[in-house]
Amino acid sequence: MSSETKQILTTDGIPLEVSLKKAERKNKIKAFLLVAPLLFFLIITYVFPIGDMLFRSVDDKMVTQMLPKTFKAMETWDGQELPDEEVFAAFHEDFIKLVEDKREGKLSTQLNYTKNGFKSIIKKLRRKSKTFEEGNYKEQIMSVHKRWADVEYWRAIKRRAPEFTSQKYLKGMDMYVNEEGKIVSVEEDRRIHRVLWLRTLEIAFFVTVFCFLMAYPIAHLLATLPMKYSNLLMICVLLPFWTSLLVRTASWMILLQQQGIVNDFFVGIGLVADDNRPEMMYNKTGSYVAMTQILLPFMVLPLYSVMKTISPSLMRAGKSLGGTPFVAFWKVYFPLTIPGIGAGCLLVFILAIGYYITPALVGGASGTLISNQIAFHMKSTLDWSFASAMGLMLLSGVLVIYWLYNKIVGIDNIKLG
């Protein structure tokens, strides 16, 4: 509104525009205050802790804090030849302090992550350091073990000087920083994480494909049948949907075991010999079968809700215009269901890629996914920073898909039940 036009005033004498803006702002604040409790609750208990994971995954202050003087002295060292006396003296000072606090074990564990062989030489140094005389620490430390006289080990210590590290992320991709400071892959036969990532993607992809192939026909049937039949059949989809995940996994464990019903059936129809029953559980097959059945409802429901909106007269029109039923289906019906396909596939893929319980129970060693590895590091090796790093790598993948989902389907269009 240009300033020359006469402003419209409310009865209080305030310009209408100002008054409206005020009311608008009040409404905005009101709406926000309603959302605020949940939003702040989630930010504190959920969003910040995920940020905390990010911090933990790159945090490498431990060694920095254990060897403060050493790193200070090392600042001027170029790393070409053995460091001079000043560094050795500082290291000795730090080390004595660590021994007093009984923390030298932690240092050896940490340094061993960077380079193998630190454990024993630190143990040796602790024993010998009690008899050290003052001065000329370089000679004394080097005489403890020949590795202390090896410049490689001092370079390894220097690599731990920064407070932050990407080491855990590299480890998650089976890579590490070598002596020259270059990023290289570990040997072929030790690349366990890459295998896991690929397997996770592979299983998630095929489970999505299987779910799609199985869900499409039944969603179509449910959408085209008269209400009274389709409601009945819908129970077959919804009952598993509402049933405990563990119950469904348990039933697959019963079905797929070697003396189980599926194997009995195969023996019964003569497909396999009784003494040669195939192993269908504790491997990939188990993961595939159980995950497909468990995630199937998540594919059926979005497909169904889209198909329900497609008018049957469209197919009739297609046929009446000379298309065979197949052509009519392919050219008319199928394109209309693509939003449902997108929604269902993304949903199933997101759920499958982070699956934990079912693969852990029926997947055995060859059917476990990246989630299982994260849980393993959380509960068994207690390498929480590594678990955090892998979790965030998985999360970033999921967020990309989530963003796609939001673009294609819109997050407020998720329908449940």
Partner 1 sequence: MALPKYTEPHYRIWHYIYLTICAAVFFFLIAPLFVIFPLSFNAEEFLSFSDGMKSLDPDAFSLRWYKDMIYGTKNPWGLAAKNSFIIAIFATIGSVILGTVAALGLSSRHMPYKGLIMAVLISPMIVPLIISGVAIFFFMAKAGLAATHTGIVLAHIILGTPFVVITVTATLSGFDHSVTRAAASLGSDPVNTFMKITLPLILPGVISGGLFAFVTSFDEVVVVLFLAGLENTTIPIQMWTGLREQLSPTILAVATCLIILSTLILVTAELLRRRSERLRGINR
Q: Residue 17: CA atoms inside 13 Å, Cβ hemisphere, count?
A: 7
For residue 183, the minimal CB distance to partner 1 (Å) is 25
Interface residue with partner 1, options 1, 2, 12, 37 (CB under 8 A): 37
- The two three-digit tokens of residue 157, written as one number: 């210590």
228 makes contact with partner 1 (CB under 8 A):
no
For residue 401, the minimal CB distance to partner 1 (Å) is 9
Interface residue with partner 1, options 3, 5, 11, 30 (CB under 8 A): 30
Interface residue with partner 1, options 89, 98, 111, 296 (CB under 8 A): 296
32 makes contact with partner 1 (CB under 8 A):
yes
Within 10 angstroms of residue 319's Cβ, the number of other Cβ atoms is 15
3-class DSSP state of 82:
coil
31 makes contact with partner 1 (CB under 8 A):
yes
- The two three-digit tokens of residue 375, written as one number: 């849980």
The number of helices, as runs of H, and strands, as runs of E, in the chain is 21, 2
38 makes contact with partner 1 (CB under 8 A):
yes
Q: Of the two residues 48 and 334, which places its CB atom closer to partner 1 in the complex?
A: 48
Interface residue with partner 1, options 74, 280, 350, 409 (CB under 8 A): 350
Q: Of the two residues 31 and 184, which places its CB atom closer to partner 1 in the complex?
A: 31
Residues near 166 by Cβ (< 8 Å), separated by ≥ 6? Answer: 58
Q: Are 96 and 48 in contact (CB under 8 A)?
A: no
Judged by CB under 8 A, which stretch of 126-134, 186-194, 231-239, 304-312 contacts partner 1? 231-239
- The two three-digit tokens of residue 317, written as one number: 């029109």
Q: Of the two residues 140 and 249, which places its CB atom closer to partner 1 in the complex?
A: 249
Judged by CB under 8 A, which stretch of 5-13, 161-169, 189-197, 236-244 contacts partner 1? 236-244
20 makes contact with partner 1 (CB under 8 A):
no
Q: Of the two residues 151 and 250, which places its CB atom closer to partner 1 in the complex?
A: 250
Dump strand ranges (E) for 202-361: none
Interface residue with partner 1, options 18, 50, 183, 321 (CB under 8 A): 50
Interface residue with partner 1, options 209, 310, 357, 404 (CB under 8 A): 357
Cα 104 from chain centre: 34
How does DSSP classify residue 9? B
Identify which of 404, 224, 237, 209 has the alpha carbon closest to the alpha carbon of residue 306. Answer: 224
225 makes contact with partner 1 (CB under 8 A):
yes
Identify which of 54, 75, 55, 53 has the alpha carbon closest to the alpha carbon of residue 64. Answer: 75
Tell which positions 55-84 bind partner 1, by CB under 8 A. Answer: 56
For residue 53, the minimal CB distance to partner 1 (Å) is 6
186 makes contact with partner 1 (CB under 8 A):
no
Tell which positions 316-335 bind partner 1, by CB under 8 A. Answer: 325
How does DSSP classify residue 187? P
Report the alpha-carbon distance of residue 237 to residue 255 in Å, rounded: 19
Judged by CB under 8 A, which stretch of 20-28, 67-75, 159-167, 173-181 contacts partner 1? 20-28
For residue 372, the minimal CB distance to partner 1 (Å) is 8
Q: What is each CA distance from 77 to 67, 81, 141, 378, in whole angstroms?
A: 15, 9, 18, 38
For residue 107, the minimal CB distance to partner 1 (Å) is 25
Judged by CB under 8 A, which stretch of 12-20, 24-32, 75-83, 157-165 contacts partner 1? 24-32
For residue 267, the minimal CB distance to partner 1 (Å) is 12
3-class DSSP state of 369:
coil
Within 10 angstroms of residue 321's Cβ, the number of other Cβ atoms is 11
Q: Of the two residues 247 and 269, which places its CB atom closer to partner 1 in the complex?
A: 247
Judged by CB under 8 A, which stretch of 71-79, 81-89, 113-121, 378-386 contacts partner 1? 378-386
Query: For 135, left (φ over 0), alpha (ψ -120 to 50), or beta?
Result: left
Cα 182 from chain centre: 26
